[in-house]
Amino acid sequence: MGSKAENQIEQYSGQDFGDKISFTVGVSYMLGRLYFIILASSIGLLKGAIEGFPRQFNMPKKLILNNFFNAVGKRTSTYGQAAASASMLYYFVGAGMNLLFEDELADINQLKKNMLCGAISGAVYKSTLGVVPFFVGGIVGGSLIGGLTLLVENFNRKGIVAFEMKF
């Protein structure tokens, strides 16, 4: 027989606390955010390839390739880092909302929670640029997360993905 401390650990392990932790930092949650970052990096890759495509081919090939790869690397990293910081901000806003307003948000469905969290995240992300970008960021953030939530719910029903958009 184990000690009293071991029995308490066994009593609390694997129940609600373990389920919440495994979902919050689990592989499926991280994969959902990783897809978003990969998508943004791919958009940056395409934009960099368009910008880096040479207008004139009378330069040496070394300079043509250097300009092309510089443009691709610059845009890919810029878009990927912006998506990573936006998804981290979304996660922290959602965790803060769950911590501070758990009872108030209990009656709201998941789509509205995600849209509220996305709107706050988008507004905070663009808040240093002024009042108009603040509101535009909130609208864009809420609508993007709302659309993504509906897409993931649809894919989840069809069995394409195995994660849910919830914080």
pLDDT tens for residues 58-84? 888 898 889 889 999 888 888 888 888
Q: Write down the pLDDT at residue 82.
A: 86
Q: Is 134 exposed, middle or buried (0-12, 13-18, 19+ CB in 10 A)?
A: middle
Angstrom CA distances, 102 to 42, 94, 95, 141, 144, stand at 36, 11, 10, 22, 23
Exposed, middle or buried by CB within 10 Å (0-12, 13-18, 19+), for 11? exposed
CA dihedral sign of residues 20, 25, 27, 29: positive
129-151: pLDDT as tens digits: 999 999 999 999 999 889 988 98
Inter-residue contact 85 to 40 (CB < 8 Å): no
Residue 56 is which amino acid? Q
Sign of CA dihedral 121, 42, 147, 144: positive
Residue 131: the pLDDT is 95
- Asked if 93 contacts 85 with a C-beta cutoff of 8 angstroms, the reply is no
How much is the pTM?
0.70
Residues of the chain with pLDDT under 70: 1-33, 167
Distances in Å between the Cα of 53 and the Cα atoms of 34, 42, 50, 74, 77 are: 28, 16, 5, 14, 18
Query: Rounded to whole angstroms, how far apart are CA atoms 142 and 119?
Result: 4
- First-last CA distance in the chain: 39
Share of the chain above pLDDT 70, in %: 80
**Tokens at 32, concatenated:** 């959902």
